[in-house]
Amino acid sequence: MSILADIRKDSRSRKDSMLVLGSHPAIIQSILDFDHLSGKKEPSIVGIVTANRKAEKYFFGTREILIPCRPGIGGSDAPAWMLNLQSGRRTYDSTVAFFETYPQALGGHIFAENVPEKHTLDLMRRFGRKHLIVGPSGVGLLVPGALKLGAIGGIDLAQMAASRIGTKGNIAVISTSGGMTNELIRSVADHGHRLSFAAAIGGNLFLVSALTDLLMLVQEDPDTDALVYFGELGGHDEYEIVDLVKARKFTKPIVAYIAGVIDEAFATHVQFGHAKALVAHSGESARDKRDALRAVGVGVPDTFPEVLAALGTLPQKRFTDAPFAIDTLLRRQKSILSTRQVADTGALSEGPYVKAMLEALIGRPVRSPVTLAFADAVFTYTIDHGGQVSGAVTTMIAARAGKGLVESLAAGLLTVGPRFGGAVNAAAENWIRGVAGKESAREFVEGMNRRSELISGIGHRKYRVGVPDPRVKALSAFAKKLEKHPHYDFACAVEKVTTGKNGKLILNVDGAIAALMLDILAECEESSAEELTALTDAEFFNALFVIPRSVGFIAHFMEQKRNDEGLFRLADDLLFVRKETT
């Protein structure tokens, strides 16, 4: 089976999946529009390699989606294609990294101009025959209804619809010019044909995958009946067509146009738009190439209008156009994206409130009763810890000053931070780093000490060795429900080191919650290390304190409203400390 037939066979096989290196919103959106117009159920883009963000927002049809971003090429997925949108100087390293990471990938497209020739030659040597890689300096690769790798076919929704690139046809287009590739695709559609395959090989002197390889794809493709080719002066690519036709290795009808005869009007040869478009050696003029192609029987019109007329003579094939409902797509408007849905009232009795709350936080269903039981215990044990803690005090002071519920609750929540309640997330980061780093607890503690950093999750003002926090004891019982608990084990090992220095440096409730929730999510919910890190990035673990403690703050607010003691004021002898003079 040819690679084209393999791509067309079944979109569920994900032979269309691609990783985008660099960000170009217009090109990326055009690929997603192509996917939607081709009837795909999910986008072909699995990720974008770009720094300083976690996701980029796009449309899939009329629905807004987030495409995940990553800082580097590695990942658990295995994309079939690379779309490299990075600058010319960065292209080489990123392309090598992609194909070394994903050697099973089918190929890719290099969009950038100004890629150094030595880089292209090395990529050709290393990957040109193993993978189908078009470019540099092109618009990509297109298999109608199956794959759009780049700006090929256009980036405007109406243009793509008019070119009918969602419908599979029987005419192939190959071009050295990106703009002419899209022009020919549109012209093929306007003359009653549909496309089977298109590629822009690029305007550079050297190509990663040879023109011959693309021509043989067309020859071997049972769905392709003819080829439309656009070339120009400079280089020797067209002689590959001559050799294949002469050897009868390429037998399908060709309509070819070679641009650049105007070069003959100048006293010396002129450099045209592409790097390759310069007559530097014998046989590279547009006229020489036209004559060579005509000598082996290829149809080569003298003018572009004659090319358009020749399109009408190509083999016809019956086709059914995919529906293009672009009216609603053209009226898309961006919003603040939320995937949260209003609860179905018919499902409200199916589970406890804590289940709905936890699923809202992690963004997917909770499967294990252990996870729910632990979350319920955490919420229960952390609702309140007395009226003397900073958040409760601030809530009560605001209530007695006559503030309402929302204002008083906000006042209390604003005290949550690294010294009060906000250490759960930092503790989770500690335990993740400790386990992933495979260092001993003593090395971890000594490293923190050298950096003069406090260890979040360790230490308590009230409890100590011999006087344990009952909440930690109760929560620690959940470790027995797990087969493995590496984060909890690491936290306990750190506690053993720290309590050897000071009896108050025990594992506190923040550290216990963080360690046990990490282990429960990993084992019971099968969360990956990447997913756990993403939860810490989003401060999920602090939410485990903020949600229940908000209830506690509200309870203190209600009590103050019931008591109605009036405005709170400290006694003068508590506010001022007088210094005795001698």
Domain boundaries, the chain: 7-315, 353-563
For residue 369, the surrounding DSSP H or E stretch is: helix 369-381
Instruction: Output the DSSP codes for 277-324.
Output: -S--STT-SHHHHHHHHHHTT-B--SSHHHHHHHHTTSPP----PPP-
User: Which pLDDT score, from 0 to 100, does residue 347 have?
Assistant: 41
Residue 236 confidence (pLDDT): 84
The torsion angles phi and psi of 521, rounded to 5 degrees, stand at -65, -40
Q: What is the CATH number of domain 7-315?
A: 3.40.50.261
- CA 544, CA 565: separation in Å to the nearest integer? 32
Q: Please give the single-letter amino acid code of residue 78.
A: A
Pairing of strands 63-70, 45-49: parallel
- What integer pLDDT is reported at residue 335 of this predicted model? 64
Tens-place pLDDT, residues 417-457: 888 888 999 999 999 999 999 889 999 999 999 999 999 99
Q: pTM of the prediction?
A: 0.69
Strands 81-84 and 18-21: parallel
Which pLDDT value is given to residue 3?
78
Please give the pLDDT value at position 96.
96
CB 204 within 8 A of CB 120: yes
Active-site residue flag, 274:
yes
Handedness of CA 472, 473, 474, 479 (dihedral sign): positive
DSSP codes of every residue in 439-488: --HHHHHHHHHHTT---TTB--SS-BTTB--HHHHHHHGGGGG-S--HHH
pLDDT at 349: 37
Collapse the DSSP code of 374 into the 3-class scheme (helix H, G, I; strand E, B; otherwise coil) and give the result: helix
pLDDT by 10s per residue, the chain, length 582: 467 877 776 555 678 899 999 999 999 999 999 998 888 889 999 999 998 788 898 999 888 888 999 988 987 678 999 999 999 889 999 999 999 999 999 999 999 988 998 999 999 999 988 999 998 988 999 999 899 999 999 998 888 888 999 889 999 999 998 889 999 999 999 999 999 999 998 878 888 999 999 999 999 999 999 999 998 888 888 899 999 999 999 999 999 999 888 877 887 887 676 767 667 778 888 889 999 999 999 999 999 999 999 998 899 888 888 766 666 676 676 665 555 444 443 443 345 788 988 988 988 899 999 999 999 999 999 998 888 899 999 999 999 999 999 999 999 999 998 888 889 999 999 999 999 998 899 999 999 999 999 999 999 888 999 998 999 999 999 999 999 999 999 999 999 999 999 999 999 999 999 999 999 999 999 999 989 999 999 999 999 999 999 999 999 999 999 888 889 888 776 655 555 544
CB proximity list for 525: less than 8 A, separation 6 or greater: 362, 366, 367, 368, 371
Structure tokens at 515: 């360690």
What CA–CA distance (Å, rounded) separates 127 from 101?
A: 13
Annotated catalytic residue, options 109, 131, 193, 274: 274
Question: Tokens 């071997």 label which residue?
Answer: 220
